[in-house]
């Protein structure tokens, strides 16, 4: 049974159709990329899956249960975590305290939340940042910490929204290795939105392509890179 089923999901904003009859499945243990030009409806689809938007029509099933009309916090408790495309570190929390926020999804005990947060930071190689203020660490590290917060919720599946945006090649490589570890090392199913093709094509087992709110292709990175519709809509001749 698939871990996630997106069945003919449509999302309208007034007269604008952001997602149009989108269907796909994600199996447990997969790492799936979601790509497409700006305005294709990728983040809107993540919002719908995670419960931040109500779908206009269609169904979303997670781990065998329909979650189409559940609130975001209830979906998160069922094991579907996400990061957000726009992130700004504010407040006066340390990295450890920030990751503890995710751990509190599963416990009310501060001691247990701290133990969980420390374990996640160590697992992801971020323990050296634990005592630093989140707002004061470099942006690449902040992006990794947001992933750690999501991992601390003990998810079955993680939705990553452009975690490599704005990073240089070395930083992209570090993000790639963290995602690989979350997927292979920690056994978490991953779906990621990404514009950095070297990242998404390099680690995805399967890639789904959106354009103008519709799914135009789905397959292995190699198959998608050769698809004429994808080349025309998004990738360009480099990947043709």
- Cα distances (angstroms) measured from residue 15 to each of 12, 18, 152, 159: 7, 10, 39, 28
Predicted confidence band of residue 239 (pLDDT cuts 50, 70, 90): very low
Residues ≥6 apart with Cβ < 8 Å to 128:
none
Q: Is the pLDDT of residue 90 over 90?
A: no
Write out 75-117 in H/E/C secondary structure: HHHCCEEECCCCCCCCCCCEHHHHHHHHHCCCCCCHHHHHHHH
Predicted confidence band of residue 25 (pLDDT cuts 50, 70, 90): very high
Q: Which residue has the higher pLDDT, 158 or 89?
A: 158
> In percent, how much of the chain has pLDDT > 70?
95
Name all domains of the chain by residue range, CATH numbers in brackets. 4-87+155-239 (3.40.50.300)
57-62 vs 4-13, strand pairing mode: antiparallel
Least confident of 88-92, 145-149, 234-238: 234-238
Least confident of 78-92, 109-123, 213-227: 78-92
Q: Is the pLDDT of residue 238 over 60?
A: no
Q: Is 163 exposed, middle or buried (0-12, 13-18, 19+ CB in 10 A)?
A: buried
User: What is the C-alpha separation between 87 and 64, in angstroms, rounded?
Assistant: 31
pLDDT of residue 235: 62
pLDDT of residue 233: 78
Instruction: Dump pLDDT digits (tens) for 28-55.
Output: 999 999 999 999 999 999 999 999 999 9
Q: Is the pLDDT of residue 91 over 90?
A: no
Average pLDDT, the chain: 93
């Amino acid at each position: 049974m698939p871990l996630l089923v997106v069945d003919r999901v449509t999302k309208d904003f007034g007269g604008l159709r952001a997602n149009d009859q989108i269907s796909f499945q994600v199996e447990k243990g997969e790492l799936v990329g979601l790509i497409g030009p700006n305005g294709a409806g990728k983040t809107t689809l993540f919002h719908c899956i995670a419960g931040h938007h109500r779908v206009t029509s269609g169904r979303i099933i997670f781990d065998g249960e329909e979650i189409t009309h559940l609130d975001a916090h209830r979906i998160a408790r069922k094991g579907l975590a996400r990061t957000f495309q726009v992130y700004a570190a504010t407040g006066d929390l340390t990295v450890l305290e920030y990751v503890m926020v995710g751990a509190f999804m599963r416990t009310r005990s501060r001691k247990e939340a701290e133990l969980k947060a420390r374990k996640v930071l160590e697992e992801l190689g971020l323990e050296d940042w634990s005592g630093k203020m989140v707002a004061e660490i470099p942006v690449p590290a902040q992006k990794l910490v947001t992933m750690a917060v999501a991992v601390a919720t003990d998810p079955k599946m993680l939705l990553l929204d452009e975690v490599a945006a704005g990073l240089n090649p070395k930083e992209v490589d570090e993000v790639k290795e963290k995602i690989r570890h979350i997927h292979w090392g920690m056994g978490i199913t991953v779906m990621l939105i990404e514009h950095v093709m070297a990242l998404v094509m390099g680690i995805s087992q399967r890639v789904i392509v959106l354009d103008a709110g519709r799914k135009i292709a789905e397959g292995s990175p190699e198959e998608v890179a050769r698809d004429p519709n994808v080349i025309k809509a998004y990738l360009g001749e480099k990947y043709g």
